[in-house]
Amino acid sequence: MNAYPLAGLRAVVTGGASGIGHAVARLLDAQGAAVAVLDLDPAGTPDTITALRADVADDTSVREAVAAAAAALGGIDILVNNAGIGAAGTVEDNPDDQWHTVLDVNLLGVVRTTRAALPHLRRSEHPAVVNICSIAATAGLPQRALYSASKGAVLSLTLAMAADHVREGIRVNCVNPGTVDTPWVARLLDAAADPEAERAALGARQPTGRLVSADEVAAAVVYLASPAAASVTGTALAVDGGMAGLRLRPAGT
């Protein structure tokens, strides 16, 4: 597939060593972009991609890694804010320090990386930011109070940043995946009492009847990041097997 050629563009992907971020980095690379991955553990990044260790919860680490990425790539046109961590529980279950930890990565990680990248994006002819948000921002999911709050904040931040930077020509959008078949979800399934039943329940929650693939999310990210989406800003693109938008009758009725 080469629907959205990106030759000459330079992209940074946080959390790009695993799952969705890894698929995004690989597809950006395949479309001709020069790519840098910023990750807590960037081991396993393909040789064609610049791998940089960074913690999005640490402002100094982010600034140093974004500067190193810009130097290695010769600038930054595309920023994909993907690094994130999960949390399970109702509003009664997570202690304050866990709230601070998750918001520090999922929300402030986006703030820090975008803040560090903006001077470079301003010098680009095709600047774009894509945030990886979640179905948890637009639908109430059980046992996800903290995680949902973090992703709801990312959705609102996406809209606010899109407004702030539209006159500079910088587009900001987000992608809202449903449940995606990544190492993260594999860890959740491994921890379940009955992993097969849990996988079936998560698949059945999506009208398509299966989990989303990381490559399907990457395709949406690459579209939003590409000049083909030059008139698209301030949107949330759901890649969720219909989970957010559809209301089906029970099968056979």
Residues annotated as catalytic (active site), given as ranges: 147
CB of 183 to ligand NAD, least distance (A): 4
d(C-alpha 201, C-alpha 215), whole Å: 22
CB of 23 to ligand NAD, least distance (A): 8
Q: What is the x/- site pattern for ligand NAD, positions 90-129, by CB under 6 A?
A: ---------------x------------------------
DSSP 85-125: ----B-TTTS-HHHHHHHHHHHTHHHHHHHHHHHHHHTT-S
Q: Could you tell me which of 129, 130, 131, 133 has the C-alpha nearest to residue 168?
A: 129
N residues, the chain: 253
Q: Which two tokens stand for residue 174?
A: 């987000």
CB of 225 to ligand NAD, least distance (A): 15
The answer to the question of residue 225 lying near ligand NAD (CB under 6 A) is no
The CA–CA distances, whole Å, from 113 to 2, 27, 227, 248 equal 28, 21, 21, 39
Q: Which two tokens stand for residue 131?
A: 């945030």
The answer to the question of residue 153 lying near ligand NAD (CB under 6 A) is no
Strand 10-14 with 34-39, pairing:
parallel
Which residue number, 84 or 126, has a Cβ lying nearer to ligand NAD? 84
The answer to the question of residue 185 lying near ligand NAD (CB under 6 A) is yes
Which residue number, 36 or 126, has a Cβ lying nearer to ligand NAD? 36
Pick the stretch among 79-87, 92-100, 193-201, 244-252 that binds ligand NAD (CB under 6 A): 79-87
Residues within the interface to ligand NAD (CB under 6 A)? 14-15, 17-21, 39-41, 54-57, 82-85, 105, 132, 134, 177, 179-180, 182-185
